[in-house]
Amino acid sequence: MITSGSAPAEVWMSSNQGDTWTKIDGPWATSDNASAFFASNGTYVALATDKGIYSALLRTVLSFATSANGTIAGAGDYAAGASATLTATPSPGYVFTGWTGAASGTQNPLSIVMDADKSVGATFAPDTSDSDGDGLSNYDEIVTYHTNPLQKDTDGDGFDDLFEINTGFNPALASSSPDAASSIRTAMEFRFNAGAGLSYRIESSTDLQNWTTQESAIVGSGGVVTRFYTTENLPKRYFRVRRN
Question: Considering only residues 88, 159, 165, 170, which one is a binding residue for Ca ion as defined by CB under 5 A?
Answer: 159
Give the chain's length. Answer: 244
Under rule CB under 5 A, residue 127 binds Ca ion: no
| Footprint on residues 188-207 left by Ca ion (CB under 5 A) | none
Angle at 94 between CA 91 and CA 99, to 5 degrees: 85
Sign of the C-alpha dihedral, residues 19, 22, 27, 29? negative
Question: Considering only residues 62, 103, 132, 194, which one is a binding residue for Ca ion as defined by CB under 5 A?
Answer: 132
Q: Which is nearer to Ca ion, 151 or 199 (CB)?
A: 151
Q: Which is nearer to Ca ion, 95 or 155 (CB)?
A: 155
Question: Considering only residues 10, 32, 130, 215, which one is a binding residue for Ca ion as defined by CB under 5 A?
Answer: 130
Q: Which is nearer to Ca ion, 150 or 224 (CB)?
A: 150
Question: Considering only residues 7, 34, 103, 153, which one is a binding residue for Ca ion as defined by CB under 5 A?
Answer: 153
Question: Considering only residues 7, 134, 165, 204, which one is a binding residue for Ca ion as defined by CB under 5 A?
Answer: 134
How far is it, in rounded angstroms, from Cα 132 to Cα 72? 28
Q: How far apart are the first and last CA of the chain?
A: 89
Question: Considering only residues 57, 88, 136, 194, which one is a binding residue for Ca ion as defined by CB under 5 A?
Answer: 136
Cis link prior to 109 (omega < 30° from 0)? Answer: yes
Q: How far is the CB of 106 from Ca ion (least distance, A)?
A: 24
Q: Which is nearer to Ca ion, 14 or 91 (CB)?
A: 91
Phi-psi region of 157 (alpha: psi -120 to 50; beta: other; left: phi over 0): alpha
How far is it, in rounded angstroms, from Cα 215 to Cα 217? 7
Cis link prior to 8 (omega < 30° from 0)? Answer: no
Q: Which is nearer to Ca ion, 104 or 144 (CB)?
A: 144
Contacts of 142 (CB under 8 A, 6+ apart): 92, 93, 127, 149
Give me the amino acid identity at 18: G
Under rule CB under 5 A, residue 157 binds Ca ion: yes
Under rule CB under 5 A, residue 155 binds Ca ion: yes
List of residues contacting Ca ion (CB under 5 A): 130, 132, 134, 136, 153, 155, 157, 159
